[in-house]
Amino acid sequence: MVTHRGIEANPNQIKVINSLQPPHNPKEVQKLTGMTTALNWFISRLVDRRRPFFLLINKWKGFEWTEECALAFQQLKKYLSYPPIMSSLEIDEVLFAYIVVAPHAVSLVLTRVDSGIQRPVYYVSKSLHEAKVRYLPLEKVILAVVHGTRKLPHYFQAYTEPLYWKVYVDGAANQGGSRVGLVLVSPEKLTIEKSLRLGFSVTNNEARYEALLEGMSMVQKMGGKAMKMFSDSMLVVSQVKGELEAKDERMQGYSTPAYPQENGQVEAVNKVIVNEIKKRLDDTKGRWVEELPHVLWTYRTTLRRSIREILFSMTYGAKAVIPLETGFPTLKTSSFNPSSNNELLEKNLDFIEERRESAMVQLAYYQHKLK
């Protein structure tokens, strides 16, 4: 709510939380965490404050409302009895960021100076899981900054927006030898084209990897700090991003372990993808490369029962529209307005972290029921 004092939390939402009785089962805990997610903008160190509740949902054994949970519940109510008033910004105003690092969470608050007093603008917090818990303090500080810039890009972009190089790569191998082709576009729109012959024997996919590495090397030599890589090989792109695992030993030498297999989720996803590919191919096993994009699209746009969300929506903040739908006068296509679409997408991205937090709560509840 925008008032003459600033941006205030909805008093009705706060009233509902303050009137709650201590939860008696995981479903009521899930309801409580969902309510606090809706107010995350106004709650400092939200992840720390809710940690006892998440631990309660994730327990293997029966439900037990401990003294730690009761204390966290009362402290949350007390905090919301006097919620902070968020301050509105002026154009080109200087902001200050303060970071708090805890064993299982990192938090960041943006503030501005108003009449000599620092007032909060936005609170951001992120829970740490698996390997991130073992990060060094400095690494956690960096993680908080990265999370803050992704969560609030409109506040940081004037200071942190990198100058990207665009690198388009391709490679091919045949009996006549192996070649790689590159097109580099600088931030100033200067285009550089380069073609190389490799002096050693490689496969087609290895040639595409060599093109990728050559493009990265060229950008670095010319002083570039950030780049966006483009390749027409779905296999190479998926392996570099960690979505597919390289089985061949030579290919493993190129792939980067972007997403370590910490808890079996990667193996589970790969199993689903492989099974779907098998269903599609039947006896024509050689076409798996052509079928892979269709399988990945299906997987990413199908509702996951465990989180009640679609992976595509949790990445881009919007629902996917299938190509067939664009050719028919549906409600989505008829109401599409290019001028306002980008603004709506930005608003959706502002709330994407809340959706991800809610999905994690739902996943924990789902796993608890399975136990």
Tens of pLDDT, residues 25-64:
888 888 888 888 878 878 888 888 888 888 887 665 577 8
Compute the mean pLDDT over every residue in the chain, rounded to the nearest whole number: 78
Range with top average pLDDT, 115-124, 170-179, 251-260: 115-124
- Domains of the chain by start residue, with CATH: 2-85 (no CATH), 96-160 (3.10.20.370), 164-259 (3.30.420.10)
Q: At 262, is the pLDDT very low, low, confident or very high (cuts 50, 70, 90)?
A: very low
What pLDDT does 73 receive?
A: 92
> pLDDT tens across 285-325, in order?
556 566 667 777 777 788 888 888 888 888 877 777 766 66
Between 1-5, 73-77, 181-185, 239-243, the lowest mean confidence (pLDDT) is in: 1-5
Rounded Cα–Cα distance for residues 89 and 112 (Å): 8
Average pLDDT, integer, range 11-25:
87
